[in-house]
Amino acid sequence: MSSVIEQTSEIYGIANWGADYFGVNRKGNLIVYSPENENLTADVKEIIDDLRKRGIGTPVLLRFPQLLFGQIRKLQTAFRKSIKEFEYDGGHLCVFPMKVNQNRAVIEEYLKEGSRYNFGLEAGSKAELYAALAMDQAKDSLLVLNGFKDRDFVRLAFAGAGAGKNVVIVIEKMSELEHTLNLVQEVTAENPEASLPTLGVRVKLYSKGSGKWEKSGGEAAKFGLTTTEILDVIGRLQDAGRIELLRLLHFHIGSQLTDIKRIKNAMKEAARTYAKIRQMGVPIEYLDVGGGMAVDYDGSRTSFESSANYNAREFANDVIYVIKTVCEDENVPHPTIIQESGRYLSAYHAILVTNIQDEIETVVEDRTPMKMQKDDPQVVRELYDLRETINGKNYREYYHDALEHREELFTMFDLGLISLEDKGKGEVLFWDVCEKADQYAQQKKYVSEEFDDLRRLMCAKYLANFSVFRSVPDNWALEQLFPIVPIHKLNKKPTEFATLCDITCDSDGIVDKFVDLHDVKPVLELQKLSPDEPYYLAIMLVGAYQEVMGNNHNLFGAPHEAHIHIGEDGYIIKKVINGETLADVLETVRFDANQLHDQFRRQVMKRIKEGEISTKAGNSLIEFYENQAESYTYLSPNGTP
């Protein structure tokens, strides 16, 4: 017999998707393990209680930089071991693609750990490059620039080289090469010894990835140069006498690559391209294999969209082995491998904790035992009979009958034949029959699809204090799954099935697909809500893409944020950053709080002048309004001030 805690951990799949970072302690609370020492843990419920005392309510984003370090080391170790095992001559370096999470804390923490292995950065826009230029990077790390570039962008790259960084401009368009060659001339005319950026080319591969981002690869991809264009770049550089600048060959076939076979095919094609270019006498030394290492969000280890059928070590083995084999076949040196994995490194480190605010009633429940009256309409009596006589043998038939009677009930109401009270009574009875039918159906070995649908209909709808659009936009836009788990009460068996509704006024703001080992769950097992006790859930693995892709829909702003260190004495809250206020989010849509205050005040003053309200009442209205500008955009949990 396994303990309740083991059973609940299994329900939520913590061991499947948790990558050994998460668990449950004896109190039944969710904990985060320090990757360096599994004896050190942080109790997430304690953190939330502590933050509450400091006036930081939910929703709150918790960052655990140590998990970012853990992922960096996992990736670095995997490649180090593969390089050793296959006697590969080249090295392995990472550049963190800033678009995955540009948050300053994330970039700084990444560089702190990554610099030990000469890991650098990748920037895809002028703004990202601008920030990257000011960061301290390890001397031998790279700063790789992808994306479309204008002259200013290229100029900034030269500024970076001037400041001592190893900048690589990856050519996506011929015009970028022209800007670069012009600037090379300009800079070297002034100082022939000036440090220059080096160049890369992004190749369009025939190979495609798998999963949601399949379109990033293949012939029709947005990025990458065709074979002819690459030959043009080489020719142009040779003519300019600058072929020595071309050092890197890049490709990226998409994010969340779920299938290792596709990755291997792309590696083969890219390695062959590298070899052929190398044989032309071009001194390429880096083969940049892009990002795309997938995170196993549902823990199923499959090629399903939210999963991956490989781990870091298999990925590293395949990359190293394929590239080595092709290089030996073609008799060219082994390149140093550059990896641009972002999702894999940063997904785990952040979790969003929020409270369940309430339950949304959709199923009418029978609160007072219902008695039949003589003058009840026939349809209500029949529903009553069904409720009284439904059993394990007839439940399917009776459920179908109930559906029919409900139709009849609505039709009769529309025709004015029954009263509102009769309709209400009939609805309650209908749901009673459904509930009983659901209970009988779930006892059977095989639950037919119609009863699965019924379960979805019957399930509770919990109102969660967050915005899907702000905090898990990929769940809305791409149906990407994120594990969701209560942070406490995990020592009690969940009794309810629920879906989650967020607090936006948008019917898309729901979560009704949950991770499962074999399938996707339509409902999540949760505890029954109790009115005088908060219930907190954590949305896990939200450290990649979600923060910056999240939007202000309904003007819900960035949530509070806390940075947590896991140490000898449990957790240390290193830093708290307040979430956006009403004034902050209104500013993003060009409202100015002061101006709003003036306008509101003017309306109230008019009412005072007209004698509609007293001066005292008016002033307190104004004061209240102005104070709200600094309040949080989310709901205050019920029962808290």
Ligand X SMILES: *Cc1c(COP(=O)(O)O)cnc(C)c1O
Compare residues 122 and 285 and give the one whose CB is closer to ligand X.
122
Supply φ then ψ for residue 582, to 5 degrees: -55, -45
- Identify the burial level of 404 via C-beta atoms within 10 angstroms of its C-beta, where 0-12 means exposed, 13-18 middle and 19 or more buried: exposed
Compare residues 210 and 504 and give the one whose CB is closer to ligand X.
210
Compute the least distance from the CB of residue 188 to ligand X, in Å: 29
Compare residues 291 and 486 and give the one whose CB is closer to ligand X.
291
Q: Return d(Cα 425, Cα 367) in angstroms, integer.
A: 11
With CB atoms as reference, the residue minimizing the distance to ligand X is 291
Compute the least distance from the CB of residue 317 to ligand X, in Å: 18
Q: Return d(Cα 593, Cα 596) in angstroms, integer.
A: 5
- Candidates 16-24, 94-102, 260-268, 456-464: pick the segment binding ligand X (CB under 6 A): 94-102
Compute the least distance from the CB of residue 476 to ligand X, in Å: 19
Compute the least distance from the CB of residue 145 to ligand X, in Å: 10
Q: Return d(Cα 475, Cα 49) in angstroms, integer.
A: 28
Compare residues 169 and 181 and give the one whose CB is closer to ligand X.
169
**Tell me, what amino acid is at 434?**
C
Binding residue (CB under 6 A) for ligand X from 99, 324, 387, 470:
99
Number of residues that bind ligand X (CB under 6 A): 16
Do the strands 142-145 and 92-97 form a parallel or antiparallel pair, or are they unpaired? unpaired
As a whole number of Å, the CA-based R_g of the chain is 30
- Candidates 92-100, 351-359, 381-389, 569-577: pick the segment binding ligand X (CB under 6 A): 92-100
Compute the least distance from the CB of residue 290 to ligand X, in Å: 5
Compare residues 75 and 379 and give the one whose CB is closer to ligand X.
75
Contact 536, 546 (CB under 8 A): no
Long-range residue pairs from 74-79, CB within 8 A, at least 24 positions apart, any chain:
74/312, 75/293, 75/312, 75/316, 75/339, 75/341, 75/344, 75/345, 76/117, 76/119, 78/311, 78/312, 78/313, 78/315, 78/316, 79/316, 79/319, 79/320, 79/337, 79/339
Compute the least distance from the CB of residue 548 to ligand X, in Å: 12
Q: Is 453 left (phi over 0), alpha (psi -120 to 50) or beta?
A: alpha
Q: Which of 289, 287, 362 is nearest to 330 (CA)?
A: 287
**Tell me, what amino acid is at 564?**
I
Binding residue (CB under 6 A) for ligand X from 32, 60, 61, 100:
100
Please list every residue from 232 through 271 that binds ligand X, using CB under 6 A.
252, 255-256
DSSP-derived 3-state class of residue 525: strand
Q: What is the 3-state secondary structure (H, E, C) of 392-413?
A: CCCHHHHHHHHHHHHHHHHHHH
Compute the least distance from the CB of residue 345 to ligand X, in Å: 8
Please list every residue from 341 through 370 that binds ligand X, using CB under 6 A.
341-344
Site string for ligand X, 327-346 (x = CB under 6 A): -------------xxxxx--
Compare residues 344 and 399 and give the one whose CB is closer to ligand X.
344
The answer for residues whose C-beta is within 8 angstroms of residue 384's C-beta and 6 or more apart is: 370, 372, 376, 429
Q: Return d(Cα 349, Cα 385) in angstroms, integer.
A: 55
Compute the least distance from the CB of residue 213 to ligand X, in Å: 7
**Tell me, what amino acid is at 222?**
K
Please list every residue from 268 through 307 that binds ligand X, using CB under 6 A.
290-293
Please list every residue from 575 through 614 that binds ligand X, using CB under 6 A.
none
Site string for ligand X, 129-158 (x = CB under 6 A): -----------------x------------
Compare residues 172 and 382 and give the one whose CB is closer to ligand X.
172
Compute the least distance from the CB of residue 292 to ligand X, in Å: 5
Q: Interface residues with ligand X (CB under 6 A)?
A: 97, 99-100, 146, 252, 255-256, 290-293, 340-344
